[in-house]
Homo-oligomer: A and B are copies of this chain.
Amino acid sequence: MPKSPAPRVHGDVNGESTVRRGRPTGDHAAKRAELLKAATTVIARDGYANASLRKVAQQAGCTTGAVTYYFANKEDLVAALAESRFDRYDAMLEAARAEPGVKKLFERWLELTTGDPEFWPVMSQLFAHARYEPGFAALIERRYARFREVYTSILARGQEQGTVRADIPADLLADQLSAMGDGWMMMFPFEPERFTPARVKALLDAAITLITPAPTTRRAT
């Protein structure tokens, strides 16, 4: 009792959605990326708790079966999503490391986090749920540790060069600044109107002021 899904239609000229089966030229990695994009959109829009594979499929314009074909299960999808997000984070860190200075780092961070309006929302959702999926939690812990490490090294260099206050250990400073960023990330989705570009700039400038050494020596002269 074969249940062929309605009369097969393809190569239509109207641009209507066609039913395609069989083996397309599909690029596995590309399709996965496409589905991850769809998942990002869904999670940013509906939140993690209300996101479902069905919605992801719908967003991507394919069937649920296709999603589970490319990802073993939901956890796999979410993990891949987290990886891809952190890959962007890592790329940013790499770039920031090349051109030192905390200010540059802030700029890169701002660029990354504001360039994509879904970045903050989806990241905060992933963080919130990571705790309850062990493998996922490990991933974040690992990636986050790396992030703090780079942060610390940049600040330490700044301290050597006298551009960053030295009365607080670099690792504590890194912890404070990254927590600050996380805090904003968490609150941003609530009241995006509060985070105007102007205010974000003011906040970052203030952060730089916070960690800049006091002009004591110069004044003593």
Q: Which A residues fall within an 8 A CB radius of B?
A: 2, 46-50, 73, 121, 124-125, 127-132, 137, 140-141, 144, 167-169, 172-173, 175-176, 178-184, 186-187, 189-191, 202-203, 206-207, 209-211, 214-216, 218-221
B131 lies within 8 A of A190 (CB) = yes
Query: Can you list 15 residue pairs at the A/B interface with Cβ under 8 Å?
Result: A2-B73, A47-B128, A47-B129, A47-B131, A127-B186, A127-B187, A128-B128, A168-B209, A173-B206, A176-B180, A176-B203, A178-B183, A179-B187, A214-B216, A219-B219
Main secondary structure of the interface of A (DSSP, over half): helix
Chain B: which residue is nearest A216 at the CB level?
Answer: B216
The 4 A-B pairs at the shortest CB distance, nearest first, are namely A179-B183, A214-B214, A128-B128, A182-B183
Best-buried of A73, A121, A175 by chain B (most CB within 10 Å): A175
